[in-house]
Amino acid sequence: MIELQNITKAYYYNGRPKYIARNVSAMFPTGARIGLMGRNGAGKSTLLSIIAGSLNADAGRVRITGSMSWPIGLQGCIHPDLTGTQNVKFIARVYGVDTEELIDFVSDFAELGQNFDQPVRNYSSGMRARLQFGMSMGIRFDTYLIDEVSAVGDA
């Protein structure tokens, strides 16, 4: 379950607040599929980052029960100087999952071929997205946060 309690987040421009969220409260039950839609710049990614804990709200509280993925689509969990394989090994250690099983899953899922053993900085954006999506799907989470569903494949 994810519960938002009076979440407020603002950015300041010329001394004036631009509210991304103002006193937002919501409860998302375990097992629900929720879509957050809005215009570009509306604050969807910001709200997901607050839920994930990678960005602090100005006020309010987020309560989470169960395990939760990092925000898929925000490429922060991939180190560009490491190979795809090395990135997967790192994530496997962080999350305490079997390294070889995760490598096998991501290798099959992402379909990177020989690129899997090349530095991620050489990947296209679609290849990076498939790597990250595969790493997340290869780990059992109770909740998956997915930002920009179109970011998981080449256009």
Per-residue pLDDT at 155: 42
| Structure tokens, 104 | 């096998």
Q: Is 37 left (phi over 0), alpha (psi -120 to 50) or beta?
A: beta
Per-residue pLDDT at 35: 85
Per-residue pLDDT at 76: 66
Per-residue pLDDT at 83: 98
Per-residue pLDDT at 33: 83
Q: In Å, how far from its chain's centre is CA 51? A: 10
Domain edges within the chain: 2-64, 75-139
Residue numbers in the chain where pLDDT is lower than 50: 155
